Chains A and B, each alone.
Chain A
């Protein structure tokens, strides 16, 4: 079984798994730096316009934000257990958990879409007719849209990767443990969760106490 999953240039499967996980970690670091470019700008403008950020932060929908955080954390749980299950030899269990992960991730995107619709109705898109007058509020919402937008692109990419695992493992659940794909996908999915965990206080918890 093990040799079926060996890909050149590797000569042993354990090394291949190590390399894929390590390679994914390096890629994840570059993803962290990608978002760091946004965090840096957010920090600079928050320092420049504290009042505008507090006023704007109160306008995001905390219910959507909090529920979505819980959903994404739960999807991270199912993903983590899926990996442990396939490594322990419970392929079918792993596959069901991957389906759960996919469902939760898709639910996240649906809720995000509903939240976007509400934001648009409440004129929270920067530009003419923006709902708030405070200086800096438009910048807060620029960052809100770009941060959540780029994150949603990552969720979508993660969903495609999870779907690939589900489809390919349909015939042979042993593939999940044998190939390194599940491990790499899981790491990526957890990173998407990690980014959201950081975005949540920056976008949804700002200015709540000063309402």
Chain B
């Protein structure tokens, strides 16, 4: 049937992303038990950033959407960066 094939095709891309998310979850959980000194946090945050990017680009359709939504989405990380940068100007120079 053509329709059931169409139904299956809907699943393909999201499931690929979901499998990737699960693998990354397993990886970050396992890596947390590997002693890396100060390296544990950056590694786990990098993996989180990849997961966030996957959800944002595919599930939230930033990948296929018009540039306006991407612009709005970009404002979030940019302003968080500004906040951290200027907080750092105080806390990391005290």
Interface residue ranges, A against B (CB under 8 Å): 18, 21-22, 25-26, 28-29, 32-33, 36, 39-40, 43-44, 47, 62, 66, 69-70, 73-74, 76-77, 79-81, 84-85, 88, 90, 93, 186-187, 190-191, 193-194, 197-198, 200-201, 205-206, 208-210
4 A-B pairs closest in CB distance: A201-B44, A32-B76, A205-B32, A25-B72
Residues of B within 8 A of A40 (CB): 83-84, 87
Secondary structure of the A contact surface, majority rule: helix
Task: Judge if B66 is at the interface, Cβ distance under 8 Å.
Answer: yes
Secondary structure of the B contact surface, majority rule: helix
Interface residue ranges, B against A (CB under 8 Å): 6-7, 10-11, 14-15, 17-18, 21-22, 25, 28-29, 32-36, 40-41, 44-45, 47-48, 51-52, 55-56, 58-60, 65-66, 68-69, 72-73, 75-77, 79-80, 83-84, 87, 91-92
Kindly identify which residue among B18, B25, B51, B83 contacts A36, using a CB–CB cutoff of 8 Å.
Answer: B83
**Distance A33 CA – B88 CA, assembled complex (angstroms):** 17
Contact check, B34 vs A209: say whether CB atoms are below 8 A apart: yes
* Shortest CB distance A124–B (Å): 19
